[in-house]
Chains A and B, each alone.
Chain A
Amino acid sequence: MTGLILRRLGIGLITVLAVSIIIFFGTKILPGDAAQIRLGQQATPENVAAFREKLGLDKPYWQQYLGWLSNFLRGDLGISLASDVPITELIADRYKNTVIVSCLTALIGVPISLMLGIMAAMFPGSLYDRVLTFISVSLVAAPEFFTATLLVLLFVFALDIGNAVVVGSTEGKGFFELISHFALPIATLSFVIASQLIRMSRAAVLNVMSSPYIEMAILKGVPRGRIIFRHALLNAIGPIVNVVALNLAYLVTGVIVVEVYFAYPGLATLIVQGVQSRDFVLIQGLGMIFCLTYVILMLIADIAAFASNPRLRHPK
């Protein structure tokens, strides 16, 4: 078990390195380089060359890569090409905003979705199950901005509460104030992950519920509640944690579209700006942050899958 987890951690580490290589060299193949972009078209070749040297761009790629990676690990993300400000400064506030929305989504969306999904699995084929399945099958395929638009339609246009643009400071706000402030992005993201989460948690529990040991429990006259909470959930918990982690990883993608939709000052809007202004240093830094989060969540998903196996938890 420990060996397996260590192995998976090792693979995770290698993946992170591979990811950093992809991101670094992916942004290196472009025409033009950082010095040119930073100094603008009017700069003389001499100035550019001098600046290249200062930035270390004259060194071999692998040296640049190692320098960039060690700086990243020390928390130095470099200086933005577009605005000449250290990236860490650029993202300080926005980082907090993105984390707040993501965490609130996870805190609200995950428990509700799990409850709905598990309940659907408890009464398979019931009207409740069929309606829920239909809704989640439909929602899972709809783009985030469609869900967002429906919510805006409902809350802003029909009910006249909330705002289609999320602005303003989060300073000094309590938990519930934060929730109402970010209500629409959180609701959108919750719907987005809920559609997946409901389907997958339902499938995970149903899979366990159809196993022979559950049939045996029924034939022993075990009451329904105990079957679900003692016999089924114990075995479904690993797959469920796996599903949750996978969906939180998906949140990393979803948050980009949702932040842009609501013109929300978070990391994702920043990275989109970075792409538009070809600010490679910014893309490299933010790309690493997003990918790291994603890789870590995938890692948790895998470890949860190991941990759910009783053969691994209780070796012979």
Chain B
Amino acid sequence: MTQTRNPGDVVFEARDLKIGAIQHDGSEIRIVKGVDFQVRRGEVVALIGESGSGKTTISLSALGYAKPGLSFTGGEAMLLGRDVTKMTTDELRPLRGISVAYLAQSAAATFNPSIKINEQVTEAPVLHGTKTQEEANAKALDLYRALELPNPDTIGDRYPHQVSGGQLQRLMAAMALCGDPELLVLDEPTTALDVTTQIEVLKAFKQVIKEEGAAAIYVTHDLAVVAQIADRIVVLYNGEIKESGPVDRIINNPVHPYTKRLMAAIRPMPEAGQGEDSSDEHLRDAPALQAIAIDAGYGARDSNGKPAVPILRDVNVAIERGKTVGIIGESGCGKSTLARVFAGLLPAYGGEIHLDGERLSADLAGRTRAQLQKVQFVYQMADTALNPRQRIRDILGRPIDFYGTAAGMTRRQRVDYLLDLVELPQQFADRYPHELSGGQKQRVNLARALAADPEVVLCDEVTSALDTIVGANVIDLLNRLQRETGVSFVFISHDLSTVSSFADEVVVLYAGMVAEQGPTDRVLSPPFHPYTRLLVSSVPEPRVGWLEEAAQTREAKAGASGGVKLTEKGCPFFERCPLAIPGTCDEVDPPKLDDGNGHIIDCHRPIAELSVSG
């Protein structure tokens, strides 16, 4: 590009932009209802909103692209002074990949599985003739290095499925940047990543955007992420801008009620010492539900009864009556497996499950109806957990009939009561699941578990598929239900801030083993297991400058690499641990260090060392 790039120039501007779906009868269903905003050179503008807000649709307009079925129905999208909504595909082609580049949410799906990475990364500038293949290769190599990818010299010769998810996400950034674009469009580029990976990717993105001097549109639903990367925020709801302005102003001083609600839905991490003290309530009765030395896994079993893919090793967890235990860990750590072991859906091959002090059969068939009734499971995806061919009345009514839990009411009254309990109108009883929104379905999903009048409810990532505000409302509901019914919850999540705001106790799982467990406030304050420390320090906080601080204090640079895999012996965190003792940590199972009050850390390092802040 021969144009000079002056900071402050307007790179992209939406003027009363309208996008909609034209129906067969000629009417329009409008998705984007007239939005105005500007993106200047050197600036990152975040589009924030929940699903259905139109944020992705707006961001794609910068490339002159409307998803199949949608079309530009009004206004202008000016890219470098030209209205891309009025251009033909042939006119747009030279701009795409060169003037404006796109980064999608799932790199795994956006890389062509049959073409080597380097060809895809360098394709745009080479095809458009802005770089020769050699120049593009050199640029790509620079980017691989800047993005801290392992083996930058050879990674381009691999196929997409041969590198990890986090690496692929960074490679997609390299693909977008290879053509030296003036505007980058990033669509939820870190949403699919684990927190400890996300922080690395975010850091790399931020640095590269700054170095390249590009402007960017960053689409996300996560205000905490926005605070790290954006200069300005545009808050969207239902295809309209509700509030827009500099990042610190919006975050510290939101004005519009919708923005306020978005902010309120973010639960701050509790500071040390906060949270209720539950210390002396321990050890009174037998716990409601208890896992003792559980070993579990999937696949065919060998002659010793050991499955082909072991997932959990020696897991001990106790759920006290009327309390909530949060189980936290990254994808693949075995947290859902543990819930399935509790429920009897996956029989453990070692260890025992106790309900009210009595041993439970490992599999479903060996459990009595009364035992099944007391432990209920709530699935992550309400969409698949509710039979699409049954009305809500039948979905809720069946457990009532099956377990006989009408409690003196008629079935109809009991269903109405349950709907009240989860704050849904009673007339929903006659609807089918697909007539409900995502949050409403999740409430029905919960109500079905409560219909059994259980002692323990296992909640498997119940808020993960929901938008921020909707998810926060479900958490509030769970809190209220616990107060009103005295039920115990096992709350499984990858989201530390959600768990910590709600659970009495936390169990941190890593690669199938418990790293640390105890009362929430104690687990989330020193002394830390090294993994817990990495996890806690990786959760973005909704304030400007957190990323830079975290990058400095975070000890686990090593945290970014290494596979999450259950090991035969020793500590599974060994490969990534900054405090690892070779010869000990990888050979001997870590001892359980008791910090008092039921706070236990599984580590070879003494407590005193773990207390030192990183």
Q: Name A's B-contacting residues (CB within 8 A).
A: 211-213, 215-223, 226, 230-231, 234-235, 310-311, 314, 316
Contact = CB atoms under 8 A, between A and B. Distances in A.
A213 B162 contact: no
24 contacts: A212-B106, A212-B109, A213-B109, A213-B111, A213-B112, A213-B113, A215-B110, A216-B102, A216-B104, A218-B96, A219-B63, A219-B102, A220-B123, A220-B127, A221-B92, A221-B93, A221-B96, A222-B123, A222-B124, A226-B127, A230-B115, A231-B112, A314-B161, A316-B162
A251 to B, nearest CB: 29
Q: Which of A226, A311, A314 neighbours the largest number of chain B CB atoms within 10 Å of its CB?
A: A314
A212 B152 CA distance: 26
B101 interface: yes
B491 interface: no
A231 B110 CA distance: 12
B114 interface: yes
A182 B161 CA distance: 49
A217 B95 CA distance: 13
Contact of A221 (B95, B112, B113, B175): B95
A215 B162 CA distance: 22
B128 interface: yes
Given A219-B63, A222-B124, 18 more contacts: A213-B111, A213-B112, A216-B102, A216-B110, A216-B111, A219-B101, A220-B124, A220-B175, A221-B96, A221-B124, A226-B127, A231-B112, A231-B115, A234-B112, A234-B115, A235-B112, A235-B114, A310-B159
Q: Which of A216, A231, A311 neighbours the largest number of chain B CB atoms within 10 Å of its CB?
A: A216
Closest 3 A-B residue pairs measured CB to CB?
A221-B96, A220-B97, A212-B109
Contacts, number: 73
A314 B161 CA distance: 9
Nearest to A211: B109
A82 B245 CA distance: 94
A240 to B, nearest CB: 14
A212 B110 CA distance: 5
B113 A219 contact: no
A222 B63 CA distance: 13
Nearest to B105: A212
A131 to B, nearest CB: 20
Nearest to B68: A210
Nearest to B158: A314
Contacts of B93: 221-223
Contacts of B63: 219
Nearest to B116: A314
B156 to A, nearest CB: 14
A231 B123 CA distance: 11
Interface in B221-247: none
B508 interface: no
B98 interface: yes
Contacts of B98: 221
B218 interface: no
Q: Which of A218, A220, A310 neighbours the largest number of chain B CB atoms within 10 Å of its CB?
A: A220
Interface of B: 60, 63, 65, 92-98, 101-102, 104, 106, 109-115, 123-124, 127-128, 159, 161-162, 175
Nearest to B172: A216
Contacts of A212: 104, 106, 109-110
Contact of B94 (A221, A231, A235): A221
Contact of A314 (B92, B109, B111, B162): B162
Contacts of A219: 60, 63, 65, 96-97, 101-102
A215 B104 CA distance: 10
B110 A314 contact: no
A221 B97 contact: yes
A219 B127 CA distance: 13
A274 B317 CA distance: 73
Nearest to A234: B114
A215 B67 CA distance: 9
B113 A311 contact: yes
A227 to B, nearest CB: 10
A230 B126 CA distance: 15
A220 B113 contact: no
B355 to A, nearest CB: 43
A219 B161 CA distance: 21
B109 A220 contact: no
B565 to A, nearest CB: 14
A222 to B, nearest CB: 6
A310 B114 contact: yes
A219 B124 CA distance: 10
Contact of A222 (B101, B127, B161): B127
B12 to A, nearest CB: 15
Contact of A220 (B96, B106, B115, B161): B96
A234 B113 CA distance: 9
Contacts of A220: 96-97, 101-102, 123-124, 127, 175
B110 A310 contact: no
A223 B90 CA distance: 8
A311 B95 CA distance: 33
A46 B341 CA distance: 73
B520 to A, nearest CB: 39
A41 B94 CA distance: 86
Q: Which of A219, A311, A314 neighbours the largest number of chain B CB atoms within 10 Å of its CB?
A: A219
Contacts of A316: 161-162
Contacts of A314: 159, 161-162
Given A219-B63, A316-B162, A310 B113 contact: yes
Contacts of A234: 112, 114-115
A280 to B, nearest CB: 45
A217 B112 contact: yes
A221 B126 CA distance: 11
Contacts of B159: 310, 314
